[in-house]
């Protein structure tokens, strides 16, 4: 199943019957945030909030990527993950 829009891809992830790896979840998060909001301009989370820091870093690693490219990469990743998690 190949999503053709960001919204379709997001809906597809809600149908996964198993949870992707934390690495894949972080990639999805970063790509989604880049696709919907653009570059991460927020404050870095505090030192002991490791989950928030990992999400922040995932999004920050995509700085300079266009929203369109991030959306395309998100859809590609969801399509790949769907073969393993649906």
The pTM of the whole model exceeds 0.75? yes
Q: Which residue ranges make up each domain of the chain?
A: 6-85
pLDDT tens, residue by residue, 31-74 = 999 999 999 999 999 879 999 999 999 999 999 999 999 999 99
Sequence-distant (6+) residues with CB within 8 A of 60 are: 30, 40
Give the other-Cβ count within 10 Å of 86's Cβ.
12
CATH topology of domain 6-85: Acyl-CoA Binding Protein (1.20.80)
């Amino acid at each position: 199943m190949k999503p053709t829009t960001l919204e379709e891809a997001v809906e597809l992830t809600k149908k996964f019957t198993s949870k992707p790896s934390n690495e894949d979840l972080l990639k999805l998060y970063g790509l989604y945030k880049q696709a919907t909001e653009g570059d991460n301009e927020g404050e870095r989370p505090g030192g002991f909030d490791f989950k928030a820091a990992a999400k922040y870093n995932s999004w920050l690693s995509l700085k300079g990527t266009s929203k369109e490219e991030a959306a395309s990469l998100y859809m590609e990743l969801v399509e790949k993950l769907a073969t393993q998690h649906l």
